[in-house]
Chain A
Amino acid sequence: AAGVIQSPRHLIKEKRETATLKCYPIPRHDTVYWYQQGPGQDPQFLISFYEKMQSDKGSIPDRFSAQQFSDYHSELNMSSLELGDSALYFCASGLAGAGNEQFFGPGTRLTVL
């Protein structure tokens, strides 16, 4: 069965650089979620989209922005990167109203040097 696809899988950036993470949800899923997981931490919710509109917003820094495109893929844009942004970034997708399960991708490991 098709799963959530994330790219790139690994990314190394310098401080103050920008990064763009991409997420391709499971086909026919209409919701996308972004989470950040630091070492030894639980996933922390950043932002979500339903039918290409922002739906819920968590502890996402102002330096980050995200959008969902017409083909339902989503991008998380991160600017002025800081050392503390080093983490695993997960995208999840789901089908609103159909159990509300969120299916996670393999993640992007971002390292900021």
Chain B
Amino acid sequence: EDQVTQSPEALRLQEGESSSLNCSYTVSGLRGLFWYRQDPGKGPEFLFTLYSAGEEKEKERLKATLTKKESFLHITAPKPEDSATYLCAVQAITGTASKLTFGTGTRLQVTL
């Protein structure tokens, strides 16, 4: 069964203090690894898809990387508006419209 583990569960950073979030996964054939941002009471907002080990993607202060066993979401010089829960999910190669298996997320709080 596909499994996703995220760490830390919660992270408090000061504005400008860079850090990384970890996502470890096991999946029977990876189609893609996805990062989402979720604000309280709202739907997950798509950030990145990574398909193969060694791949990297960037968007503003965020950079996602992928190895065969884990993914990292690096946050450089975060701002208070980056505060949210960051979810990692994997999709296995099993047919069309297959499910995402999510981790429990990392709650990030960025303070002034």
Residues of A within 8 A of B (CB): 4, 31-33, 35, 41-45, 48-50, 55-56, 58, 88, 90, 92, 94, 96-97, 99-107, 109
CB contacts (< 8 Å) of B45 on chain A: these are: 104
Interface size on B, residues (CB 8 A): 25
User: CA separation between A102 and B36, bound complex, in Å?
Assistant: 10
User: CA separation between A44 and B44, bound complex, in Å?
Assistant: 13
A100 touches B91 (CB 8 A): yes
Contact with A along B68-112 (1 / 0, CB 8 A): 000000000000000000010001001111111111110000000
Residues of B within 8 A of A (CB): 31-32, 34, 36, 41-46, 49, 87, 91, 94-105
User: CA separation between A55 and B91, bound complex, in Å?
Assistant: 14
B49 touches A99 (CB 8 A): yes
User: CA separation between A97 and B93, bound complex, in Å?
Assistant: 11
A42 touches B49 (CB 8 A): no
CB contacts (< 8 Å) of B36 on chain A: these are: 104
The 10 closest A-B pairs by CB, nearest first: A104-B43, A45-B99, A55-B97, A42-B102, A50-B97, A31-B97, A48-B97, A50-B96, A104-B44, A42-B104
